[in-house]
Structure 1
Amino acid sequence: MTERMSAEEFRAIRHEPKPSKYRNRKTVVDGIKFDSKREAQFYASLKQLERAGQVYEVELQKPYALTVNGQLVCTYRCDFAFYDAIQKRNRVVDIKGVATKDFNIKRKLMLAVYGIDVEVIR
């Protein structure tokens, strides 16, 4: 004889959170929700460097409009953009476990349109 489950039991099973596609875990630091633990760790280290005066103007999720021949192709949103006082340059950083095809195209467009080489931290 087979066991039957009630509708409530079925709904409870069906609504269990599905793991993320790349197995990353959302993490909160300073009230900011990050897509992964690695991204949150990078933010924490960046904040320490900012307190030490080694980086300035830290921006999270900064958008860049990627326009070619007057046509908006897409928008790239980096994880971190900041000025590095030690290297004396602006840096754009993205934390990636897996570099997707879309990301690779946007990275090349960032270099072509703005002359910015996006740094990838794995």
Structure 2
Amino acid sequence: MTKRAPWPMVVPAGTTTVGTARVRDDSRPVMTTAQRRIYELTGNPPQSSALDDPHDPFAVPALSIAPTKKPAKYRNTKCEHEGIKFDSQRERSHWFHLVQQQAAGLISDLRLQVAFVLTERKQRDDGTWERKSTYVADFTYVRDGKLVVEDVKSEATRKNRTYIQKRKQMLDKHGITVKEIQ
């Protein structure tokens, strides 16, 4: 049996091998074979990632490309203008149109994202509570003394069952017809 070096072993800087052993630059653990295979299949690095180990012959070069985000359900692009966030570019452009109409004096009291309560919060017989139901309109304004509620909708979102139900409840509860903007 050979005599072992005292622990912790002191290795001078710049040494690459000690006997037949390779000296690593850092003390982080190396990926196991199972971790490496999982990384190759999924692209997800393990928690004890040692992907940047320059001496690992199986290391896969790190990808600098950010993972692609899943596109929005209805392919809308969220955007912002002067701190106001819009769900789509079409909604933002309609906002600009309404701002111009208000400046011209055709409409007044222009507001964004106005919530209307459709059903109040109620307590069930078993003591639990049923949440209130609300409809959030994209725009509301007053034209010729009458409140107008507008919602920017595409063909696909106009057919959404939840939207249709809430649109009908708006007419029933508040007597307001939601004007859909394409």
Q: Scaled by the length of structure 1, what TM-score is found?
A: 0.82
Pick from 78, 82, 100 the counterpart of residue 30 of structure 1: 82
Deviation of 1:28 after TM superposition, in Å, equals 1.6
1:78-104 C-alpha deviation (Å, 9 max, x unpaired): 00010114xx42100000112211000
Cross-structure match for 1:106: 166
Q: Determine the C-alpha separation between the residues in 2 that align with 1:89 and 1:37.
A: 27
The structure richer in helix per residue is 1
Aligned pairs, number: 114
Q: Determine the C-alpha separation between the residues in 2 that align with 1:52 and 1:64.
A: 28
| RMSD between aligned residues | 2.2
- The answer as to 2:134 corresponding to 1:75 is yes
Q: Determine the C-alpha separation between the residues in 2 that align with 1:30 and 1:54.
A: 23
Q: Determine the C-alpha separation between the residues in 2 that align with 1:39 and 1:110.
A: 21
Cross-structure match for 1:44: 96
Gaps of 5+ in 1: none
Gaps of 5+ in 2: 1-39, 44-59, 123-130
Is 46-55 or 72-81 further displaced after alignment? 72-81
Cross-structure match for 1:94: 151
1:4-40 C-alpha deviation (Å, 9 max, x unpaired): 574853x955x32211111111122232111111100
Q: Determine the C-alpha separation between the residues in 2 that align with 1:8 and 1:65.
A: 51
Q: Scaled by the length of structure 2, what TM-score is found?
A: 0.56
Pick from 71, 76, 84 the counterpart of residue 19 of structure 1: 71
